[in-house]
C-alpha cells in the first residue's frame, strides 16, 4: 500500500519533529518506572480504524520512519489534521508499536484503542484509511517492568489498553493475570492479544452475561496466593480504581493506578492535568503532580484522593 507521508500543511506541528527528552525515570517506592527519552511529533496516516466491540475502535497509524522507544504504559496525544475547531489533542494509551512494517514501506505503525465518549473520539470514529492525524508521543512514565513476581492487572472498560506492552515485557519474567471488567458481553474487549502472550485472563461482567457476575475487583482476592510476591496495577473508571486500591490495601499489596485525567498539552506545559500526591517535603503534606509527566501511573498509596473512604 502506498501512503504519502511527505508533508504537513498547517504548520501548527511540524510534520516530524523530535524533542530531546530527559530521562525522568523515577523511583516511586514500588519500583523503577520507565519513560522514553524522545518525544516525536508529526503527522500519521490512518491505515485502519476498525470497530472491535461496542463503541470501541482500534486505530492504526503509520508514521514516517521510526517511532521512539516507548515504555509500557506510556501514551500518545492525537488530534485531527483538518479541523481547526478541535485544536486540542486527546491522550490515548499506546497499545502496540509495530516496528518496520514491511507492508508500509518499513515504517513504524502505532496502534491505539479508543472508546467513543465525546467530541474528539466521536470524530476519530469517522477517520478512514488515508486520513491524517497529528500525534505527539510517547509521553508520560510507564510501568515498572523489572518486577518478576505476580503482576495482577485490573482493567475496566477500555482500561486494558496500556497493559499489552507490559504483558509483552513481562513474558517469561513473571506471572501476569488480567482481571477485566465490562458492563455486558457486547462491551467486552477482544483479549486474544493477552491470551496469546500467556496472560491468565479472567472476565467479569456487571450483568453476568460472560464470566463472573459482578464487579471485577471481587476477583482480586481469588487470584492472589497468600504470601506470594505480587503487585496490583489498575486502569479504568475512577470508582474501579479506588475499589481495586481498597482490595490491594486489604491484601497488603503494592498498588499502582494509571489515571485517565483529561489533558490539554500532554507535555507538562499547561498544568491542566494535576493531581494531589503526598509529599513529605511540602508544608501541606502534598503537592501537585502533572499526570502527563509524573504520571499517568501513580503509586495509589500516595494519591491524596485515594485516602478518603468513598
Ligand atoms: C494517559 C491517558 C491514557 C488514555 N488512554 C485511553 C485509551 O487508551 N483509550 C480510551 O478510549 N481512552 C483513553 N483515555 C481517555 C481519553 O483520553 C478520553 O476518553 C478522551 O479524551 C475523550 O475525548 P472526547 O473529545 O471524545 O470527549 P470530550 O468531548 O472531551 O468529553 C466528553 C465527556 O467525557 C468526559 N471526559 C472526557 N475525558 C475524560 C476523562 N479522561 N475522564 C473522565 N471523563 C472524561 C467529559 O467530562 C465529557 O463529559 C486516556 C486518558 C489518559 C489521560
Ligand atoms: S496536560 Fe498540560 S501539563 Fe499535563
Say if ligand 2 is within 6 A of residue 269 CB. Answer: yes
* Spacing of C-alpha 231 from chain mean position: 18
Q: What is the CATH number of the domain that holds 47?
A: 2.40.30.10
78 and 160 in a single domain? The answer is no
175 and 301 in a single domain? The answer is yes
The answer as to whether 286 is a domain residue is no
Atom of ligand 2 nearest to the CA of 268: 3
Atom of ligand 1 nearest to the CA of 124: 26
CA atoms of 96 and 94, how far apart (whole Å): 6
Atom of ligand 1 nearest to the CA of 140: 1
3-state SS class at 10: coil
The dihedrals phi and psi of 124, each to the nearest 5 degrees, come to -55, -35
pLDDT at 82 over 90: no
Q: Which three cell numbers stand for residue 66?
A: 521510526
Q: What is the CATH number of the domain that holds 183?
A: 3.40.50.80
pLDDT at 239 over 90: yes
CA atoms of 244 and 234, how far apart (whole Å): 7
- The model's pLDDT over 2-46, given as tens digits with 9 standing for 90+, comes to 455 544 333 333 345 555 443 433 322 223 334 456 899 999 999
51 and 132 in a single domain? The answer is yes
Q: What is the mean pLDDT of residues 102-114?
A: 97
* Per-residue confidence (pLDDT) for residue 20, from 0 to 100: 45
Say if ligand 2 is within 6 A of residue 271 CB. Answer: yes
The answer as to whether 157 is a domain residue is yes
Question: How far, in Å, is the centroid of ligand 1 from the Cα of 111?
Answer: 17
The answer as to whether 226 is a domain residue is yes
Question: How far, in Å, is the centroid of ligand 1 from the Cα of 263?
Answer: 8
CA atoms of 129 and 162, how far apart (whole Å): 24
The answer as to whether 67 is a domain residue is yes
Atom of ligand 2 nearest to the CA of 273: 4
156 and 222 in a single domain? The answer is yes
The answer as to whether 284 is a domain residue is no
180 and 64 in a single domain? The answer is no
Q: What band does 73 get if pLDDT is binned at 50, 70 and 90?
A: very high
- The model's pLDDT over 257-296, given as tens digits with 9 standing for 90+, comes to 999 999 999 999 999 999 999 999 999 999 999 999 999 9
Mutate-to-test residue for ligand 1 from 54, 57, 86, 90, highest number of ligand atoms within 8 A of CB: 90
Q: What band does 79 get if pLDDT is binned at 50, 70 and 90?
A: very high
Q: What is the mean pLDDT of residues 103-115?
A: 97
- Other beta carbons within 10 Å of 193: 17
Q: What is the mean pLDDT of residues 221-239?
A: 96
* Per-residue confidence (pLDDT) for residue 54, from 0 to 100: 87
Mean per-residue pLDDT over the chain, rounded: 88
Decide which of 87, 117, 139 is a domain's last residue: 139
Q: Which domain holds residue 39?
A: 16-139
- The model's pLDDT over 183-220, given as tens digits with 9 standing for 90+, comes to 999 889 899 999 999 999 999 999 999 999 999 999 99
* Per-residue confidence (pLDDT) for residue 307, from 0 to 100: 75
- The model's pLDDT over 140-179, given as tens digits with 9 standing for 90+, comes to 999 999 999 999 999 999 999 999 999 999 999 999 999 9
CA atoms of 181 and 158, how far apart (whole Å): 9
The answer as to whether 287 is a domain residue is no
* Per-residue confidence (pLDDT) for residue 88, from 0 to 100: 84
The dihedrals phi and psi of 23, each to the nearest 5 degrees, come to -80, 100
168 and 301 in a single domain? The answer is yes
206 and 118 in a single domain? The answer is no
The dihedrals phi and psi of 179, each to the nearest 5 degrees, come to -100, 120
CA atoms of 220 and 229, how far apart (whole Å): 14
Q: What band does 65 get if pLDDT is binned at 50, 70 and 90?
A: very high
**What are the E-state strand segments in 183-238?**
200-205, 212-213, 230-235
182 and 52 in a single domain? The answer is no
User: Using CA positions, which residue lies closest to atom 33 of ligand 1?
Assistant: 118
Q: Which three cell numbers stand for residue 139?
A: 509521553
N-terminal to C-terminal alpha carbon distance within the chain: 52
* Per-residue confidence (pLDDT) for residue 47, from 0 to 100: 98
Looking at the structure of the chain, the number of domains it has is: 2
Ligand number nearest CA of 289 is 2
72 and 104 in a single domain? The answer is yes
> What is the DSSP-derived secondary structure letter of residue 68?
P
The dihedrals phi and psi of 162, each to the nearest 5 degrees, come to -75, -5
134 and 69 in a single domain? The answer is yes
Q: Which three cell numbers stand for residue 12?
A: 501548527
CA atoms of 37 and 28, how far apart (whole Å): 18
Q: List helix spans (H) across the chain.
A: 119-124, 163-170, 192-196, 220-223, 238-251
Q: Which three cell numbers stand for residue 25?
A: 525515570
3-state SS class at 233: strand
Question: How far, in Å, is the centroid of ligand 1 from the Cα of 254?
Answer: 26
The answer as to whether 210 is a domain residue is yes
Beta bridge partners of 180: 155, 203
Q: What is the mean pLDDT of residues 62-70?
A: 96
Cβ–Cβ < 8 Å for 45, 128: no
The dihedrals phi and psi of 103, each to the nearest 5 degrees, come to -70, -15
Q: Of 7-16, 29-38, 60-69, 109-118, which gets the smallest average pLDDT? A: 7-16
61 and 207 in a single domain? The answer is no
Query: What is the pTM (predicted TM-score) of this model?
Result: 0.90
Which residues make Cβ contacts (< 8 Å) with residue 123, sequence separation at least 6? 80, 83, 86
Q: Which three cell numbers stand for residue 169?
A: 515485557
> What is the DSSP-derived secondary structure letter of residue 27?
B
Q: What is the mean pLDDT of residues 73-98?
A: 89
Residues with CB under 6 A from ligand 1: 75, 90-93, 112-115, 117-122, 158, 161, 260-263, 296
Question: How far, in Å, is the centroid of ligand 2 from the Cα of 171?
Answer: 32
pLDDT at 118 over 90: yes
35 and 108 in a single domain? The answer is yes
Decide which of 139, 166, 188 is a domain's last residue: 139
The answer as to whether 74 is a domain residue is yes
Cβ–Cβ < 8 Å for 180, 170: no
Decide which of 90, 114, 139 is a domain's last residue: 139
Amino acid at each position: 500500500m502506498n501512503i504519502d507521508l511527505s508533508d504537513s500543511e498547517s504548520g501548527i506541528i511540524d510534520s516530524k519533529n523530535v524533542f530531546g527528552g530527559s530521562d525522568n525515570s523515577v523511583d516511586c517506592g514500588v519500583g523503577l518506572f520507565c519513560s522514553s527519552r524522545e518525544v516525536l511529533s508529526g503527522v500519521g496516516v490512518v491505515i485502519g480504524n476498525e470497530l472491535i466491540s461496542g463503541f470501541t475502535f482500534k486505530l492504526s497509524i503509520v508514521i514516517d520512519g521510526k517511532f521512539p522507544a516507548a515504555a509500557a504504559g506510556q501514551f500518545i496525544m492525537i488530534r485531527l489534521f483538518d479541523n481547526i475547531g478541535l485544536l486540542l489533542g486527546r491522550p490515548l494509551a499506546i497499545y502496540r508499536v509495530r516496528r518496520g512494517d514491511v507492508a508500509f514501506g518499513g515504517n513504524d505503525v502505532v496502534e491505539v484503542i479508543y472508546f467513543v465518549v465525546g467530541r474528539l473520539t466521536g470524530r476519530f470514529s469517522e477517520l478512514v484509511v488515508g486520513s491524517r492525524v497529528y500525534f505527539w508521543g510517547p509521553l508520560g512514565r510507564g510501568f515498572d517492568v523489572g518486577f518478576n513476581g505476580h503482576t495482577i492487572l485490573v482493567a475496566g472498560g477500555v482500561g486494558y489498553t496500556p497493559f499489552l506492552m507490559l504483558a509483552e515485557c513481562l513474558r517469561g519474567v513473571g506471572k501476569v493475570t488480567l482481571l477485566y471488567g465490562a458492563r455486558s458481553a457486547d462491551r467486552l474487549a477482544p483479549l486474544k492479544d493477552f491470551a496469546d502472550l500467556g496472560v491468565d485472563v479472567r472476565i467479569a461482567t456487571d450483568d453476568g452475561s460472560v464470566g463472573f457476575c459482578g464487579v471485577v475487583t471481587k476477583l482480586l482476592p481469588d487470584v492472589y496466593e497468600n504470601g506470594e510476591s505480587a503487585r496490583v496495577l489498575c486502569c479504568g473508571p475512577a470508582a474501579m480504581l479506588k475499589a481495586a486500591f481498597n482490595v490491594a490495601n486489604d491484601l497488603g499489596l503494592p498498588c499502582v493506578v494509571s489515571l485517565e485525567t483529561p489533558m490539554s498539552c500532554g507535555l507538562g506545559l499547561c498544568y491542566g492535568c494535576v493531581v494531589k500526591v503526598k509529599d513529605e517535603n511540602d508544608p501541606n503534606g502534598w503537592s501537585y503532580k502533572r499526570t502527563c509527566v509524573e504520571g499517568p501511573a501513580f503509586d495509589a498509596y500516595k494519591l491524596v484522593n485515594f485516602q478518603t473512604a468513598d
